[in-house]
Amino acid sequence: MAKLAPFPEMVFTFVMKYLLRAGLLVSPIIFLVSLSPVKADDQSSGGADADAVQEHVYVTATRSRKQDLEVAAAVTGIDESQLLEQGPDVIAEMLRAQPGTFFQQTTPGQGVAIIRGLKGSQVLHMVDGMRLNNALFRNAPNQYIGLVDAFATQRLEVVRGAQGSLYGADAMGGVMHMMTHEPLYSGEEWEQQGRVYVSADSVDNGWVVNARTEGGKSGWSFAGGASYQDHSSRRSGRGEKLVPSGYSSKAADLKFIVSSSEHSTLMLSAQVMEQPSTPRYDELVPGFGQDNPSSQQFQFEPNRRSFVHARYRVSPQSGWIDQLEIHAARQIITDDRLSQEWQSPDIVTENNRSTLDGVTMQVNSSLASESRLVWGAEYYTDAVDSSRFVQVGESATTDEVRSRFPDRSSMDSAAVYLSGEWNGHDKLTLSTGLRYSWFDINLPADNNHDGLKLTPSDLTGDVHAVYSIKPTLKLVANIGRGFRPPNIFDLATLGPRPGNRFNIANPDLGSETVWSYDVGFKTETDNIEWEVFAFYLDYSDKITSVFTGQTTEDGRDIIRSENRNNVQIYGFESGLYWGLSDDLDVFLVLNHTRGQESNDTEPDIPADRIPPLNGKIGLSYQINDRWSIEPFVLFARDQHRLSPRDVRDPRINPLGTPGWGTINLLLDWHVSAMTQVGFRLENITDRDFREHASGIDAPGRNIGLWLSVNFK
């Protein structure tokens, strides 16, 4: 398949501008397809309606709509109402103290979820069914998830554990799926509604404004919105301003859904989000063991994500195909930087871009009343452009130097998969699947880089079982094999890394693999929802940064990536929601993860960045029809089990990360059917702490207010 020419961002900006003003896609859509009624229950595999959320229906784990109790995998769902209450700066914050997940943040405006001890490119991140992960994703915390607008998200789903058949490469720790608003209207009369959401926080004088509108009638619908955030430098629990940690972001999105027949729909959407200038806080202040910061300047300037997406779905009423779904999308991530080493006169400007094109096809089939199949194919092609320039001292001289990544490098992939489910026993449901994945990685030769071509491939799969002890109590078990090929970041990065390191290329890398095992219980009754899982990951040939023993002229440790370590990660995760009465609920989340690594010279060491014992406990009380209150405690135990790499990381206290606990309160007031006001009081005791492996101290006491006004 030939590569498409890079999509000009000026064209994207032009299109978005006028789509938001006038909806210019409507005319060609109407010309191409005839309008007819849309079924009210015709939902996307990338979305979920309000009823589905209330019924705890998940789509990511099985690529079909299924209730939580019938899904073997460990899953987490977060809906829009929770996003509005908490007003996260980045969407990954919503996975703080959820079962099996932990939040890590290197600098404000960025952040990742650690799922069963894995993060970054070890976890597959998706938006509306398409990959967010690209060839530049690090197998460590990165900024790219911060380029998905939390306030355009209708639902967030997480599947924990390797998902080898349905998702393949990168889905070793699990899948994090962000699903944007998808409106459906079935009436003959035009309907339209909108919302304005405003949020403010005292801890960083931050504010957010989001405006959304949607409308439609039988045959077609649309949704669109825009967001803006502005945050000053954060205040820590000891009252210190963490300078510089302020940033801003802006985002817009637009989606159209048109029905060409009663059983088929076409969806077209576009998203864009930009952080114009975000400081890398941990590079700009001295870390643990440092007398001076690593950099005098370090700005992500700008970071931007642009995304255009088309999806066609048809649901025949006869034959062996229940649903056919085809996606085509283009994602452009711009990762530009301005940096200056500590006490260096040279200013470095970088321009890095990934253009990821993808086409996927999936079929859901029912072979008999007790058997179902999901099968499909995917193709992605990722083109990387990279350049770097140095302004020498105070002179006007600017020299082009070796870029962070090989310019014009590429990473293509293709995959086919098949997953089947059998319900032939009254109490037992079994499912299993296989996927074959193939990659073509090209690093072109030039004056600065040696050429390289890699073609890794792998066969992955999984087996799942659900045993019904009784209708409301299920025993579930999963075995999965996942893998991750080395991407362009792993193979060929050249340049500074956090923690006073400097990365050099190593093109001689192989794929990582993981065997993932878990067993657990799920129960759901009228007043109790509970899950508990024990898990074990056997992770081989982990690509990790290895110190070469050399340093650069400015004192940075020189590192390179190697398939060096084997890792065992195990633990348990649990969540309980108990309705004591119609008005009072209590909830508890408790996670424990432990990791061991080994290599030729270090046979038994702690694994990197493993979260400590952590969780959440609280209650929710419905005072009356208008008022509700939710006090809760977030906590984490101290983490003294540090790897040698952790000890050398300036972001991590070499003596260990102290434990912490914060007292928090959410208060909601439904002023009217159309207006809601919320109050957040976070870290009430002004606790001074840092979440393990984060590059910045956590926020101190925060008073937050938010207002949501709906219009019809």
CA-wise closest residue to 135 among 488, 398, 406, 432: 488
163-201 pLDDT, tens digit each: 999 999 999 999 999 999 998 888 889 999 999 999 999
Residue 36 has pLDDT above 50, yes or no: no
The percent of residues above 90 in pLDDT, for the chain, comes to: 77
Give me the pLDDT at residue 262, please.
78
What SS3 state is found at 13? helix
Give me the pLDDT at residue 402, please.
87
Give me the pLDDT at residue 445, please.
81
Report whether 516 contacts 537 (CB < 8 A): yes
Query: pTM of the full predicted structure?
Result: 0.90
Give me the pLDDT at residue 2, please.
38
What is the rounded CA–CA span in Å between residue 364 and residue 354?
Answer: 32
What is the rounded CA–CA span in Å between residue 35 and residue 261?
Answer: 7
Region 445-464 average pLDDT: 85
Give me the pLDDT at residue 548, please.
86
The percent of residues above 70 in pLDDT, for the chain, comes to: 92
What is the 3-state composition of the chain as percent helix, strand, coil, each rounded to the nearest 5?
10, 55, 35
Residues 6+ apart with CB under 8 A from 152: 180, 181, 212, 225, 227, 251, 253, 271
Give me the pLDDT at residue 683, please.
98
Give me the pLDDT at residue 9, please.
43
Give me the pLDDT at residue 61, please.
92
228-255 pLDDT, tens digit each: 999 999 999 999 999 999 999 999 999 9
What is the rounded CA–CA span in Å between residue 646 and residue 612?
Answer: 14
Q: Which helix (H) or strand (E) segment is 86 a member of?
A: helix 80-86
Q: Which residues of 215-247 are buried (b: 16+ CB within 10 A; e: fewer)?
A: bbbbbbbbbbbbbebebbbbbbbeeeebebbbb
Given pLDDT bands bounded at 50, 70 and 90, which one contains residue 347?
very high
Give me the pLDDT at residue 10, please.
43
- Which residues are registered as beta bridge partners of 399? 390
Give me the pLDDT at residue 450, please.
65
Give me the pLDDT at residue 590, please.
98
Pick the range with the lowest mean pLDDT from 42-56, 546-560, 666-680: 42-56
Top pLDDT among 262 and 423 is at 423
What is the rounded CA–CA span in Å between residue 158 and residue 167?
Answer: 13
Given pLDDT bands bounded at 50, 70 and 90, which one contains residue 448?
low
How many Cβ atoms are within 10 Å of 399's Cβ, its own excluded? Answer: 10
What is the rounded CA–CA span in Å between residue 232 and residue 207?
Answer: 9
494-514 pLDDT, tens digit each: 888 777 888 888 888 999 999
Give me the pLDDT at residue 608, please.
92
Q: Hey, which CATH number is domain 9-410+466-693, 3.30.450.20, 1.10.8.620, 3.50.50.60, 2.40.170.20?
A: 2.40.170.20
269-322 pLDDT, tens digit each: 999 999 999 999 999 999 999 999 999 999 999 999 999 999 999 998 777 889
88-123 pLDDT, tens digit each: 999 999 999 999 999 999 999 999 999 999 999 999
What is the rounded CA–CA span in Å between residue 277 and residue 107?
Answer: 12
Give me the pLDDT at residue 1, please.
37
CA-wise closest residue to 571 among 88, 75, 117: 117
Burial class of residue 82 in the structure, from the number of CB atoms within 10 Å of its CB (0-12 exposed, 13-18 middle, 19+ buried)? middle
Residue 19 has pLDDT above 80, yes or no: no
What is the rounded CA–CA span in Å between residue 626 and residue 230?
Answer: 30
Residue 85 has pLDDT above 80, yes or no: yes
Given pLDDT bands bounded at 50, 70 and 90, which one contains residue 56?
confident
Residue 370 has pLDDT above 90, yes or no: no
DSSP 699: B
Residue 52 has pLDDT above 50, yes or no: no
- How many Cα atoms are found within 13 Å in the side-chain-facing hemisphere of 100? 28
What is the rounded CA–CA span in Å between residue 278 and residue 38?
Answer: 43
C-beta contacts of 625-628 below 8 A and 24+ residues apart: 625/670, 626/669, 626/670, 626/671, 627/667, 627/668, 627/669, 627/670, 628/667, 628/668
- Give me the residue spans of the domains in the chain: 9-410+466-693
